[in-house]
Amino acid sequence: MSAHIIDGKAFAASVRSDVAKDVQSLKQKHGITPGLAVVIVGEDPASQVYVRNKVKQTSEVGMNGFHFEYPADTQEEEVLQKVHELNNDPAVNGILVQLPLPDHMNETAIIEAISPEKDVDGFHVVNSGLLATGGKGLVPCTPLGCYLMLKDHLGDLSGKKAIVVGRSNIVGKPMAQLLLDASCTVTIAHSRTKDLPAEVAQADIVVAAVGRPEMIKGDWIKQDATVIDVGINRIPAPERGQGKHRLVGDVEYATASENAGAITPVPGGVGPMTIACLLKNTVTATYRQNDIKK
């Protein structure tokens, strides 16, 4: 059987449309226009594309966008100074610093400098702590996007066996927390996991976030499982011409589609949901900062 393809692009458009309605209502009923500040350091081409899309989509949903670009050799202190300024700017409800940062910068110090209430990436330790303890923080955008797609496709997740492959602070760990909160039985797998194929084969839900092209093989996937592929890996595609590349996920898509009940494609799956959830978090942050109930 061929799997249902979960269309992240279409789902992200519907999330953005809901965000645009909330923005309209904040403007009309409360005279508030949510503001999102995006800070980028360096010239990483992929990051530049993501930031351009964030800025464009911010204005498309009717929010104010503030965009700050710094060259790669900028001192950390200068970025910290900007973050402090943005923390104190009432027109700014959400702040994000695009990752990765250049090597000479302390990523943790910069993330922790963002006010937790404005940390729309959900990376601040206060927000990860709130997520871990069932509190009301801001949830990292990629895991939030995966969770919304799973809920939309499966409805109730309780009692399902889920595996998250990857244990990063920004995807793997928060993803596992969200699944646990939804009463899944959760396994977190990583590079030292013994017999990964056997672990994956037991899961009703597979979230792949390892950053290794097609590492998870299709024949590991349990019949009818739901597969969420977070990986975005650029690999050489000589069949498309010299020097050409193509994007693949962390899952071997064609073979996994034969076993899975549903699967997200790469591109067009989790990626678009990341930016849609950033906008959603900015609206959430705006409501909370102004003590407005939706």
Six-digit token pair at 237? 């595609």
Q: Report yes or no: 149 and 205 within 8 Å, Cβ to Cβ.
A: no
- Distance (Å, rounded) from C-alpha 19 to C-alpha 279? 7
In this structure, is the dihedral angle defined by the CA atoms of residues 35, 42, 144 and 275, taken in order, positive or negative? Answer: positive
Which of residues 32 and 41 has its CB atom nearest to ligand LMY7XDAE in the complex? 41
202 labelled catalytic: no
Query: Can you tell me which of 23, 37, 50, 208 binds ligand LMY7XDAE, judged by CB under 6 A?
Result: 50
- Distance (Å, rounded) from C-alpha 212 to C-alpha 219? 17
By CB under 6 A, is residue 163 in contact with ligand LMY7XDAE? Answer: no
Q: Which one of 22, 82, 98, 250 is the catalytic residue?
A: 98
Q: Report yes or no: 13 and 5 within 8 Å, Cβ to Cβ.
A: no
- The single residue listed with the structure tokens 């959830």 is 277
Binding residues for ligand LMY7XDAE, rule CB under 6 A, total 18
By CB under 6 A, is residue 275 in contact with ligand LMY7XDAE? Answer: yes
By CB under 6 A, is residue 131 in contact with ligand LMY7XDAE? Answer: no
- Distance (Å, rounded) from C-alpha 268 to C-alpha 14? 14
Shortest Cβ 248–ligand LMY7XDAE spacing (Å):
11
Q: What is the DSSP letter of 194?
A: S
31: left (phi over 0), alpha (psi -120 to 50) or beta: left
Residue with smallest beta-carbon separation from ligand LMY7XDAE = 271
121 labelled catalytic: yes
Region 4-33 residues binding ligand LMY7XDAE, contact defined as CB under 6 A: none
Neighbouring-strand partners of residue 64: 35
Query: Can you tell me which of 177, 274, 281, 286 binds ligand LMY7XDAE, judged by CB under 6 A?
Result: 274
By CB under 6 A, is residue 267 in contact with ligand LMY7XDAE? Answer: yes
Six-digit token pair at 97? 């610093």
Query: Can you tell me which of 6, 96, 179, 248 binds ligand LMY7XDAE, judged by CB under 6 A?
Result: 96
By CB under 6 A, is residue 283 in contact with ligand LMY7XDAE? Answer: no
Contact window for ligand LMY7XDAE (CB under 6 A) among 14-22, 192-200, 213-221, 267-275: 267-275
Query: Can you tell me which of 58, 98, 127, 259 binds ligand LMY7XDAE, judged by CB under 6 A?
Result: 98
Ordered alpha helix ranges (H), 98-187: 107-113, 125-132, 141-154, 172-181
Shortest Cβ 198–ligand LMY7XDAE spacing (Å):
29
Region 237-266 residues binding ligand LMY7XDAE, contact defined as CB under 6 A: 247, 266
**Looking at this protein, which amino acid is placed at residue 248?**
V
Describe the crossing of helices 172-181 and 141-154 by its angle, rounded to 10 degrees. 40
98 labelled catalytic: yes
CA-angle at 290, arms to 146 and 279, nearest 5°:
30
Query: Can you tell me which of 99, 126, 180, 201 binds ligand LMY7XDAE, judged by CB under 6 A?
Result: 99
- The single residue listed with the structure tokens 């923390």 is 87
SS3 call for 203: coil
- Distance (Å, rounded) from C-alpha 126 to C-alpha 134? 12
* Binding footprint of ligand LMY7XDAE on the chain (CB under 6 A): 46, 50, 96-99, 121, 141-142, 232, 247, 266-268, 271-272, 274-275
Detail the residues annotated as belonging to a binding site for NADP(+).
166-168, 232
- The residues annotated as belonging to the active site are 54, 98, 121
